[in-house]
């Protein structure tokens, strides 16, 4: 019994404190591998000591002190390693002020921001940034990250080793970028968080439409970022966007696992608490300066969440917001979403005319939502043969089984 | 830590004349690099048409290709710097300031291996 309780306590503390502890150790010792090793050793020590001696009053500080001692022990044993690390630190301090010293038992300063920027560094491949952020900041184990992305553990382990090797050998620094670089680098970090969310929301392949754990990890990471960067409105916008979309998760899947489109969703099953939280963030994201793409997308999601159904949705306002979004990020995907909103505002003919202009975009040719949108509008216009051809094209391209099942139903209505 | 900045230019030259880095831009950059105390080495290379490629076959036979590397690549190495800076971000910052990174050109940053 005591064992079980201590193990659960360790896991809970570990989950919450791992990223924070890791970041503090990285800041102190300048080495991600060393930080990860001593973090793991401190957890092991806790599993040995806590069941016997009881859980300490401040488990996070206990882990931090233990990990720090283990790092120092290791550096004393391995003098060659210590020498190399010392050179690294001297050089790093040429660029950045030294880490503030904290006495044992003090609350750890939150250094996770620099870990966010390192894990999301543009010199790392996009898939490595996502994997590393989930591991170092969300506290997922390598097998958990692998499961989330449906790749073998060995593949994910290799990806993480490769990313850490590049951080070490190309010496990607552990630092928060200065004001000049900040907007670009923060956009990269937000992109990592958002791609974790979208991977959880619409899995790119596999039998389950949603993997809610990834979406929730992304929301958790965005909450941490929001605490660390309260003045950055795009962080607020991204958190709002994810809450407002994730609030619809239960209504999005039918009991058999099938896909339910926004128009057909039982809005009573939307998570009102989450919507309220998201709605409260939207004005913060949109005021006080020029708007960013996440803030605008959050505003669009908010209009959907506030509407009783599709017909009473404020489509003119949504089209206007897509215009703003397109001016900020002119992409064919945004143009596609705008065209669908125009169809809701002005009728299927107007929407289809816009979609036809987009048909040659290379990004949309193999993008199944484009073909679904064409098919739906053609079907509403009674052009059934063309609609069927577009549904078939979408079916060939759709990644998850619920999406394919939905399209098959469209092709062969019972 | 030492990084090599490989300065590649597009063989077709810059897309627009206005994008082209002037001789003065290069002089100013070179001066800045040298005065910052980070300069290890650096050269600009003569025109690609002056290049000669040598290969030695497994039998020890030397083959000289006299007229250039026949690079199929779209970019041509035009010069390099080796800089000693604290970390990758500092190296990327110097790469972004290099005139060779503009006008269709690019600068590849590679850490120098330490043994």
> What does the domain layout of chain A look like in residue ranges?
1-95, 113-229, 326-414
Q: Which one of A30, A91, A122 would you mutate to disrupt binding with B, by most B Cβ within 10 Å of its Cβ? A: A91
Whether A326-414 and A1-95 are alike in CATH topology: the answer is no
Mean per-residue pLDDT, A211-232 = 87
Where do the structural domains in chain B lie, given as residue ranges?
2-45+75-111
What 3-state class would DSSP assign to B99? helix
Give 3-state DSSP helix, strand, coil % of chain B, rounded to 5: 30, 30, 40
Q: Do B87 and A177 touch (CB under 8 A)?
A: no
CB atoms within 10 A of CB A322: 22
Residue B14: exposure state from Cβ atoms within 10 A (0-12, 13-18, ≥19): middle
Q: Which of A294, A262, A298 is nearest to A278 (CA)?
A: A298
pLDDT in tens, A302-344: 999 999 999 999 999 999 999 999 999 999 999 999 999 999 9
CB atoms within 10 A of CB B73: 9
How many residues would you count in chain A?
414
How many residues would you count in chain B?
115
Per-residue model confidence (pLDDT) at position A106: 44
**Residue A190 pLDDT > 60, yes or no?**
yes
Q: Structure pTM?
A: 0.83
Specify the residue for token string 């890791």.
A22
Q: Which of A371, A380, A255 is nearest to A310 (CA)?
A: A380
All residues at 6 or more sequence positions from B89 whose CB lies less than 8 Å from its CB, including other chains: A95, A172, A173, A175, A177, A181
Nearest-CA distance B82 → chain A (Å): 14
**Residue A134 pLDDT > 70, yes or no?**
yes
Q: Which one of A170, A176, A179, A181 would you mutate to disrupt binding with B, by most B Cβ within 10 Å of its Cβ? A: A170
Mean per-residue pLDDT, A120-128 = 92
DSSP string, B37-48: T-EEEEEEPPPG
- Strand partners for B63: B55
Specify the residue for token string 């005021």.
A287
Q: How far apart are CA A331 and CA A298, in angstroms?
A: 18
Question: Is the four-CA dihedral A148, A149, A155, A158 of positive or negative sign?
Answer: negative
Per-residue model confidence (pLDDT) at position A93: 57
Per-residue model confidence (pLDDT) at position A2: 47
CA A24 to chain centre: 22
* A326-414: CATH number: 1.25.40.10
Residue A206 Ramachandran class (φ > 0 left, ψ -120 to 50 alpha, else beta): left
Longest dimension (CA), chain A: 78
Q: Do B88 and A172 touch (CB under 8 A)?
A: yes
B contact residues 55-114, partner A, Cβ 8 Å cutoff: 86-90, 92, 111
- Strand partners for B56: B62
The tokens for A338 are 């705008």
Per-residue model confidence (pLDDT) at position B52: 80
CB atoms within 10 A of CB A178: 10
Q: What's the mean per-residue pLDDT of chain A?
A: 86
The tokens for A405 are 């099942």
Collect all residues of chain B within an 8 Å Cβ-Cβ radius of residue A170.
88, 111
Percent of chain A scored above 90 by pLDDT? 53
Per-residue model confidence (pLDDT) at position A66: 94
- Strand partners for A161: none
Longest dimension (CA), chain B: 51
pLDDT in tens, B13-67: 555 555 667 889 999 999 999 999 999 999 999 887 788 888 888 888 877 766 6
CB atoms within 10 A of CB B113: 7
Mean per-residue pLDDT, A367-389 = 92
Say if domain B2-45+75-111 classifies as CATH 3.40.50.261: no
Per-residue model confidence (pLDDT) at position A51: 85
Q: Which of A98, A100, A99, A135 is nearest to A118 (CA)?
A: A135
Q: What kind of fold does domain A1-95 have according to CATH? A: Rna Polymerase Sigma Factor; Chain: A (1.10.1740)
Q: Which of A306, A300, A305, A302 is nearest to A340 (CA)?
A: A300
């Amino acid at each position: 019994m005591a064992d079980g309780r201590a193990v659960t306590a360790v896991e809970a503390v570990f989950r919450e404190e791992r990223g924070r502890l890791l970041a503090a150790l990285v800041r102190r010792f300048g080495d991600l591998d060393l930080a990860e090793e001593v973090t793991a050793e401190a957890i092991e020590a806790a599993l040995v000591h806590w069941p016997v001696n009881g859980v300490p009053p401040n488990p996070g500080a206990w882990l931090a002190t233990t990990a720090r001692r283990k790092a120092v022990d290791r550096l004393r044993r391995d003098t060659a390693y210590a020498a190399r690390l010392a050179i690294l630190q001297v050089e790093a301090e040429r660029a950045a002020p030294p880490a503030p010293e904290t006495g044992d038992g003090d609350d750890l300063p939150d250094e996770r921001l620099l870990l966010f920027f390192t894990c999301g560094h543009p010199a790392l491949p996009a898939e490595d940034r996502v994997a590393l952020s989930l591991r170092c900041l969300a506290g997922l184990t390598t097998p958990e990250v692998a499961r989330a992305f449906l790749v073998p553990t060995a593949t994910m382990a290799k990806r993480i080793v490769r990313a850490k090797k590049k951080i070490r050998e190309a010496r990607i620094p552990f630092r928060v970028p200065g004001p000049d670089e900040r907007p670009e680098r923060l956009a990269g970090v937000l992109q990592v968080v958002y791609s974790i969310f979208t991977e959880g929301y619409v899995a790119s392949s596999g039998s389950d439409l949603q993997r809610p754990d990834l979406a929730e990890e992304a929301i958790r990471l965005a909450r941490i970022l929001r605490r660390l960067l309260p003045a950055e409105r795009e962080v607020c916008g991204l958190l709002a966007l994810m809450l407002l979309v994730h609030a619809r998760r239960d209504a999005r899947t039918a009991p058999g696992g099938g896909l339910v489109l926004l128009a057909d969703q039982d809005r009573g099953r939307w998570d009102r608490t989450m919507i309220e939280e998201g709605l409260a963030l939207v004005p913060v994201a949109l005021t006080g300066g020029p708007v960013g793409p996440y803030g605008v997308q959050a505003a669009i999601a908010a209009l959907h969440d506030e509407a009783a159904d599709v017909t009473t949705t404020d489509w003119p306002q949504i089209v206007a917001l897509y215009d703003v979004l397109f001016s900020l990020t002119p992409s064919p995907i945004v143009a596609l979403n705008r065209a669908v909103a125009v169809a809701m505002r002005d009728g299927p003919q107007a929407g289809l005319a816009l979609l036809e202009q987009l048909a040659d975009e290379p990004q949309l040719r193999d993008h199944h939502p484009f073909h679904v949108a064409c098919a739906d509008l053609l079907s509403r216009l009674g052009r059934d043969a063309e609609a069927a051809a577009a549904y078939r094209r979408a079916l060939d391209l759709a990644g998850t089984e619920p999406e394919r099942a939905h399209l098959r139903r469209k092709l062969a209505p019972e | 830590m030492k990084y090599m900045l490989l300065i590649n230019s597009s063989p077709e030259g810059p897309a627009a004349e206005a994008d082209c880095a002037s001789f003065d831009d290069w002089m100013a950059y070179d001066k800045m690099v040298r005065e910052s105390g980070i300069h290890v080495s650096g050269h600009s290379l003569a025109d690609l048409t002056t290049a000669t490629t040598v290969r030695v076959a497994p039998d020890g036979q030397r083959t000289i290709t006299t007229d250039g590397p026949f690079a199929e690549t779209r970019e041509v190495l035009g010069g390099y710097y080796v800089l000693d800076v604290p970390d990758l971000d500092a190296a990327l910052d110097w790469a972004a300031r290099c005139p060779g990174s503009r006008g269709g050109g690019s600068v590849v940053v590679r850490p120098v291996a330490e043994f």
